Amino acid sequence: MGESYRDLIAWRKAMDLVTDIYRVTRSFPRDELYGLTNQLRRAAVSVPSNIAEGQARFSPKEFHHFLSHARGSLVEIETQLTIAQNLDYLSPDLAQPVLDKAAELGRVLNGLIASIKSAA
């Protein structure tokens, strides 16, 4: 699995997603700074943070637990991006590539979770 969380493909993809979320939320209305903008950014930061923290734990069970939290934050991001589209804060042209990256990360996380479960 590697020496560090930085070696994990899931962590790298999650870091890319954080950057994308920060970029797309820059154009959200100012009055959403403490609402949807903040929620999206916090959820995005939570994904690689939970992957890193879980990998640093000493048991597969703990790693699985943190990966589950990362997966939860990821679906939160997908939901909030859809809300942003529904409110016309984000065009489909900007939202879809980010949603595609989130879906790909979800598949990678599911694979990592499955591999941790089988190793436990």
What is the per-residue pLDDT for 120? 62
Q: How many residues does the chain have?
A: 120
- pLDDT of 58 higher than 90: no
Per-domain residue ranges for the chain?
5-119
Q: Among the CATH numbers 1.20.1440.60, 1.10.390.10, 3.20.20.140, 3.40.190.10, which is that of 5-119?
A: 1.20.1440.60
**H or E element in which residue 113 lies:** helix 92-119
- pLDDT of 65 higher than 90: yes
In this predicted model, what pLDDT tens digit does every residue of 78-97 receive, in sequence order?
999 999 999 999 999 999 99
What is the per-residue pLDDT for 17? 98
Q: What is the mean pLDDT of the chain?
A: 95
What is the per-residue pLDDT for 3? 77
Average pLDDT for 100-120: 93
Tokens of 22: 């920060």
Grade residue 73 by pLDDT with cuts at 50, 70 and 90. Answer: very high
What is the per-residue pLDDT for 22? 98
In DSSP notation, 41-95 reads HHHHHHHHHHHHHHHHSSSHHHHHHHHHHHHHHHHHHHHHHHHHHHTTSS-HHHH
